[in-house]
Amino acid sequence: MRTHSRASRRLVGLAVVVALGAGTVAGCAEDPAEPAAAGVATAGGVGRDGGTTLTVGVFGAFGLKEAGLYDEYMKLNKGVVIKQTSIERNENYYPQLLTHLGSGSGLADIQAVEVNNIAEITATQARKLVDLGRTEGVRKESFLPWKWSQATTADGRTVGLGTDIGPQGICYRRDLFAKAGLPTDRTAVGKLWAGDWRKYLAAGKRYQARAPKGTVFVDSAAGVMAAITGGNETRFYDAKGKVVYKTNPAVRRAWDTAAEFARAGLTGRLQQFTPAWDQGFANARFATVSCPAWMLGYIQDKAGAAGKGKWDVAAAPRPSNWGGSFLTVPAAGRNTAAAARLVAWLTAPEQQAKLFERRGSFPSAKAAYDLPAVSGARHAYFGNAPIGRIFAGAARGVPVQIVGPKDLVIAQNLADVGMLQVDQKGRSSKQGWDAAVKAIDNALDQ
């Protein structure tokens, strides 16, 4: 899965990749100053044998190459050669992509876009991208409605096709739940908080009353907040593109609930994707964590062999999503038709199911959910949990969300400037909120 800075609020895998039931570790090279394949002679050009060479620009270990999908496509299409380049961190990759789109040069034939950037791309760069909704073989109804809408303009042009998503469950330690007198069966655990994140808070207070020494209920208040906001239709922007997080009741409810986790002493006061957080998994420091499908491999890696069979997965209180990406085709390319056909094939349900089976990236194509690789998927490390069924249920329940161009900036500051002060420094909820708002206003020049 993809690797990013912690600030991206997604950090899919952080060089940890899961092939279902087994964790594998992949390293990444240093970021180049410019994407090596962007704008070179081979981009959208003619290969040595007279065939077509297509370049793909991605960030991190995106998974398509690692899953063998490029090789499979080249075997099916003998005249096509696919070359991929990757910049490890999205915060380095994305500014370069905007620069190249602005100039109309230096682009790969296919460019990946992270979900936190897709609203800005769709709003400001749509005319520089191919309308993939018109590509032969692409069926809107195969995708989740909310995923399709994220890369579709107001006038109906679909400039990106979704690869993966991050539907969330709650990963929990069966052994710690048993010691605290809570149920351990994943169905019964899910019923503890079904339908309401406040019930998750109540379960945390029950846990903490009898918690094994040295443990807490959840890793961080910021993680709780992100999971709650990930299930709301309106979050930081309204349908007209206005920034509304300050007055949106859904955001304030998420903030208040997360802050109460901190005030009640239910959190490990950890910052996600830091060494201390990693150590918390290894030491069984916390009993639960909100976990998108892509995080299973991360947990397996950090908790290690000692955690096998002790971790499990239950449904989250309400459907929520954290993460996902898209593939786009720049209109400036010299072989846009061939690139669009490749994107259509890579994002087809059958290929998305293979990507999930081999890499753990959960499909954005709902048509893949009935395929055996997804519907029958279980994870041995997590007590043989039926992860295909659990995460498909979450994915179907996520509302069509309004995604704004600066969602990432707002989410990052709410978590790392605001909620972190409440969780780690003992600041009041109001103090943390005011600090976050000030930082966001500065970042947005408001």
Do 425 and 302 have their domain in common? Answer: yes
Domain region containing 393: 167-321+387-443
* 8 A C-beta contact, residue 226 and residue 415: yes
CATH number (domain holding residue 51): 3.40.190.10
Q: In this structure, what are the phi and psi dihedrals at residue 119, rounded to the nearest 5 degrees?
A: -65, -45
Number of domains in the chain: 2
The token pair that represents 376 in the structure block? 């029958």
The token pair that represents 210 in the structure block? 């009898």
- Where among 337, 358, 382 does a domain terminate? 382
Do 245 and 281 have their domain in common? Answer: yes
Structural domain contains residue 1: no
Cα separation, 215 vs 217, whole angstroms: 7
> For the stretch 325-343, what's the b/e string if a residue is b when 16 or more beta carbons lie within 10 angstroms of its beta carbon?
bbbbbbbbbebbebbbbbb
* 8 A C-beta contact, residue 299 and residue 171: yes
Residue stretches of the chain with pLDDT short of 50: 1-44, 47-48
Do 176 and 259 have their domain in common? Answer: yes
> For the stretch 100-138, what's the b/e string if a residue is b when 16 or more beta carbons lie within 10 angstroms of its beta carbon?
bbeeeebbbbbbbbbbbbbbbbbeebbebbbbbbebeeb
In the block, tokens 């072989």 appear at 335
Do 90 and 208 have their domain in common? Answer: no
- Where among 350, 382, 414 does a domain terminate? 382
> For the stretch 254-266, what's the b/e string if a residue is b when 16 or more beta carbons lie within 10 angstroms of its beta carbon?
bbebbbbbbeeeb
pLDDT at 393: 96
Residue 98 buriedness (CB in 10 A; 0-12 / 13-18 / 19+) = middle
Do 70 and 128 have their domain in common? Answer: yes
Do 77 and 222 have their domain in common? Answer: no
Structural domain contains residue 11: yes
pLDDT at 49: 52
Structural domain contains residue 196: yes
Structural domain contains residue 242: yes
Structural domain contains residue 375: yes
Structural domain contains residue 66: yes
Do 173 and 195 have their domain in common? Answer: yes
Do 363 and 391 have their domain in common? Answer: no
Give pLDDT tens digits for 341-370.
999 999 999 999 999 999 989 999 999 999
Structural domain contains residue 192: yes
Do 146 and 191 have their domain in common? Answer: no
Do 51 and 91 have their domain in common? Answer: yes
Global pTM exceeds 0.75: yes
Do 307 and 262 have their domain in common? Answer: yes
